[in-house]
Amino acid sequence: MALLPILCYPDARLHTVAKAVPEVDSRIRQLAKDMLETMYEASGIGLAATQIDVHQRVIVADVSQEHDQPLVLINPELVWTSPGTHMNEEGCLSVPGIYDGVERFDAVHVRALDAQGASRVIEATGLLSVCIQHEMDHLLGKVFVEYLSPLKRNRIKTKMLKARREDAR
Ligand code: K1U
Ligand code: ZN
């Protein structure tokens, strides 16, 4: 098991579009294990491979309080979205300390391969639905701050760059 460094916004690598995983093999299974360990250690509820600079369509999530319901979604595809949407307060491990509202579908159905390579459809509502939509955006190179106004986004970018400079001192 290994903890992986998480890319921080702004970083051009966060805008890379991930490629489909051709085969679920031991390398992908190890990647998923390392991503789950990294997500739990960072107190996150989700993580996309993009955030650890791996540009393959892999996400992990666990919205349980007990951290006992890990989900591994490989090559996830949205197969259904609810007609209704709602605003949700979101955070991102790649934009630490920033929380803001994003409009998301109330519920989604996602087809994906699990860590054994079996095809499954997950019917997600509530926080899991929001988390999956957020992580699937990462795989398309989209960070949640891109839903915010240019003014807010620029303020966040400036704040992150300032924090990075101070950390480097
Ligand atoms: O992708 C990521 O950066 C992980 C992100 C997922 C996420 C959180 C909230 C709404 C949508 C997507 C996080 O886990 S950030 C941590 C966080 O905000 C949180 C942690 C525990 C419970 C609820 C939120
Ligand atoms: Zn994120």
Q: For residue range 123-144, what is the model confidence (pLDDT) as tens digits?
A: 999 999 999 999 999 999 999 9
Provide CB contacts within 8 A for 99, sequence distance 6+. 89, 90, 91
134 ligand 1 Cβ < 6 A:
yes
Please give the single-letter amino acid code of residue 105.
F
Q: How confident is the model at residue 118 (pLDDT cuts 50, 70, 90)?
A: very high
Q: For residue range 88-112, what is the model confidence (pLDDT) as tens digits?
A: 999 999 999 999 999 999 999 999 9
Task: Please return the burial class of 169, using the count of CB atoms within 10 Å of its CB with bins 0-12, 13-18 and 19+.
Answer: exposed
90 ligand 1 Cβ < 6 A:
yes
**CB of 48 within 8 A of CB of 59?**
yes
Ligand 1 atom with least separation from CA of 92: 3
Residue for token digits 């390579």?
Answer: 117
So which residues are the catalytic ones?
Answer: 135
Q: For residue range 20-31, what is the model confidence (pLDDT) as tens digits?
A: 999 999 999 999
46 ligand 1 Cβ < 6 A:
yes
Q: How confident is the model at residue 54 (pLDDT cuts 50, 70, 90)?
A: very high
Q: Measuring from atom 16 of ligand 1, which residue has the nearest CA?
A: 44
* Entry pTM: 0.97
